[in-house]
């Protein structure tokens, strides 16, 4: 009993004295992570009234849990405000669809399109037209589109009302003239009131007419070539995915690059960037792959790609022998993607440390620490026996035979593959102690 206790004490001292900072599953109290995404991308973000100076998509880390207000703004789109409650120790996502302040129209079969009494060239595929009401008239091969002033109904009502008021003014004035011998006043109070109403309506009508003229003069319609239309990004992405399914990597990459060259605000941009990086990875162009993966983490962190990108980049650094960078990238994983568990990633850390140790024996203590973390953090894991064996193996390499033997004694039900390894290591430890 004393020997077992002594062995456990050695393990704990070894863990505490290690220079390696182990990753804990317990986050800082009361904080959360939040992905903010939007369609389109590139929206300015105002968080709790504070302009962040960043655009979507972005990852806000270690923010206080509770209710928060988020406003997104982008030129050409309607500002949108959302409220979200953040749960402590969780990573959540907010995806906002912004409404356009204009709509897109296509007139492919028309010989001539006249908008607001101005001819527009019909060689373009699409037009962006401000939101609002329009009167559309088709005349043979001519299509007329006239914007309607938002207060046109009120203006028409005033045009009808004004003649009636003028007639009433006249009748009241004639009545005052007829009764002028009976009263010292030139005009009666009712006549003066009618004049005031007429002047008010007339003034309002003039002001509305002026605003209508300004509205029509400032109205504009912008032609957009099909190649620059936002829908084109979706077509290129579908095209690329089809090529990828057929294994035609170079053709797929050509289509992904079209998105990356021209559609930075498209929701397909991060996906295209990730797929492009994977093709570089498969093709052995590691530097280009690292560049694209890093751009996703820094500039386009969307929830469905973030953890996968971290893992892919970590794998890539292992391939190039940059083990420290690989471990640092794993620290960025926020576990939003259910594919990755903390246990899986912590075990991957151990594997990275093992590969690193094969070329640099000075990190043996780091290898031991990473495995001790597995043993005590995932004691109920189905792989706990394996973790104990691996920890004991490296403890023995470090000369801590007593602690290694103690852990091996706790491997009570090794499987057929593990049992001979445990037996062999126990024998080796006994021989070293004799």
Query: Binning pLDDT at 50, 70 and 90, where does residue 106 land?
Result: low
CA 358 vs. chain centroid, Å, equals: 39
> How far apart are the C-alpha atoms of 98 and 42, rounded to whole Å?
11
* pLDDT value for 227: 53
* Residue bearing the bigger pLDDT, 299 or 180: 299
Q: What is the DSSP string of 224-259?
A: E-GGGSTHHHHHHHHHHHHHHHTT-HHHHHHHHHHH
Contacts of 46 by beta carbon, 8 Å cutoff, 6+ apart:
52, 70, 71, 72, 73
* pLDDT value for 170: 81
Residue closest to 398 by CA, chosen among 373, 421, 371: 371
> How far apart are the C-alpha atoms of 206 and 173, rounded to whole Å?
24
CATH topology of domain 32-97: Immunoglobulin-like (2.60.40)
Percent of the chain residues topping a pLDDT of 70: 83
pLDDT in tens, 50-72: 999 999 999 999 999 999 999 99
* pLDDT value for 76: 81
* pLDDT value for 22: 39
* pLDDT value for 173: 81
Mean pLDDT of the chain: 85
146-155 burial, b if ≥16 CB within 10 A, otherwise e?
ebebeeeeeb
Q: Are strands 58-64 and 31-39 parallel, antiparallel or unpaired?
A: antiparallel
Query: Binning pLDDT at 50, 70 and 90, where does residue 165 land?
Result: confident
> How far apart are the C-alpha atoms of 231 and 234, rounded to whole Å?
5
> How far apart are the C-alpha atoms of 433 and 401, rounded to whole Å?
8
Average pLDDT of span 407-427 = 90
Instruction: Show me where the domains of the chain are located.
Output: 1-23+343-434, 32-97, 102-148, 161-220, 230-330
Percent of the chain residues topping a pLDDT of 90: 57
* pLDDT value for 219: 75
Contacts of 182 by beta carbon, 8 Å cutoff, 6+ apart:
none
Query: Binning pLDDT at 50, 70 and 90, where does residue 149 land?
Result: confident
pLDDT in tens, 224-274: 655 556 678 999 999 999 999 999 999 999 999 999 998 999 999 999 999
* pLDDT value for 23: 39
> How far apart are the C-alpha atoms of 310 and 303, rounded to whole Å?
12
Average pLDDT of span 72-96 = 93
| Whether the domain at 32-97 and the domain at 230-330 fall into the same CATH topology | no
pLDDT in tens, 365-390: 999 999 999 999 999 999 999 999 99
CATH of domain 230-330: 1.25.40.10
Residue closest to 377 by CA, chosen among 356, 400, 349, 401: 349
Residue 112 has pLDDT above 90, yes or no: no
pLDDT in tens, 126-146: 667 777 777 777 776 677 777
* pLDDT value for 361: 94
Average pLDDT of span 348-368 = 96
Residue closest to 278 by CA, chosen among 308, 300, 238: 308
Average pLDDT of span 101-108 = 61
CATH topology of domain 1-23+343-434: 1.25.40
Average pLDDT of span 328-355 = 96
CB 137 within 8 A of CB 116: no
Three-state SS sequence of 372-420: HHHHHHCCCCCCHHHHHHHHHHHHHHCCCHHHHHHHHHCCCCCCCCCHH
């Amino acid at each position: 009993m004393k020997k077992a206790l002594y062995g456990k004490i050695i393990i704990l001292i070894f863990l505490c004295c290690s220079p390696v900072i182990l990753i804990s599953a317990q986050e800082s109290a009361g904080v959360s992570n939040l992905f903010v995404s939007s369609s389109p991308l590139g929206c300015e973000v105002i968080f709790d009234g504070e302009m962040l100076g960043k655009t979507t998509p972005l990852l806000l880390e270690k923010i206080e849990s509770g209710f928060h207000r988020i406003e997104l703004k982008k030129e050409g789109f309607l500002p949108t405000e959302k409220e979200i409650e953040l749960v402590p120790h969780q990573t959540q996502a907010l995806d906002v669809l912004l409404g356009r302040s204009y709509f897109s129209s296509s007139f492919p079969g028309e010989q001539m399109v006249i908008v607001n009494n101005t001819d527009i060239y019909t060689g373009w595929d699409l037009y962006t037209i401000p939101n609002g009401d329009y009167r559309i008239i088709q005349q043979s091969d001519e299509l007329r589109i006239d914007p309607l002033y938002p207060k046109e109904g009120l203006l028409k009502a005033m045009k009808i009302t004004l003649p009636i008021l003028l007639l009433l003014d006249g009748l009241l004035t004639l009545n005052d003239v007829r009764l002028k011998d009976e009263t010292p006043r030139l005009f009666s109070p009712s006549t003066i009131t009618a004049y005031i109403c007429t002047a008010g309506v007339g003034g309002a009508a003039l002001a509305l007419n002026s605003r209508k003229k300004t509205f029509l003069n400032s109205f504009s319609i912008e032609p957009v070539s099909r190649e620059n239309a936002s829908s084109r990004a979706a077509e290129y992405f579908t095209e690329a995915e089809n090529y990828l399914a057929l294994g035609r990597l170079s053709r797929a990459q050509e289509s992904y690059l079209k998105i990356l060259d021209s559609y930075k605000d498209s929701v397909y941009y991060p996906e295209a960037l990730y797929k492009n990086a994977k093709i570089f990875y498969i093709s052995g162009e590691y530097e280009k792959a690292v560049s694209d993966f890093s751009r996703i983490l820094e500039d386009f962190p969307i929830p469905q790609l973030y953890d996968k990108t971290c893992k892919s980049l970590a794998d890539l650094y292992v391939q190039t022998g940059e083990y420290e960078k690989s471990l640092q990238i794993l620290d960025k994983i926020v576990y939003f993607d259910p594919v990755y568990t903390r246990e899986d990633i912590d075990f991957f850390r151990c594997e990275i440390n093992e590969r690193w140790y094969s070329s640099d024996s000075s990190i043996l203590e780091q290898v031991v620490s990473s495995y001790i973390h597995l043993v005590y953090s995932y004691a109920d894991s189905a792989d706990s026996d394996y973790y104990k064996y691996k920890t004991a193996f490296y403890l023995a390499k470090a000369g801590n035979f007593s602690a290694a033997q103690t852990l091996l004694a706790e491997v009570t039900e090794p499987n057929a593959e593990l049992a001979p390894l445990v037996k062999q290591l126990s024998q080796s430890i006994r021989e070293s102690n004799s």
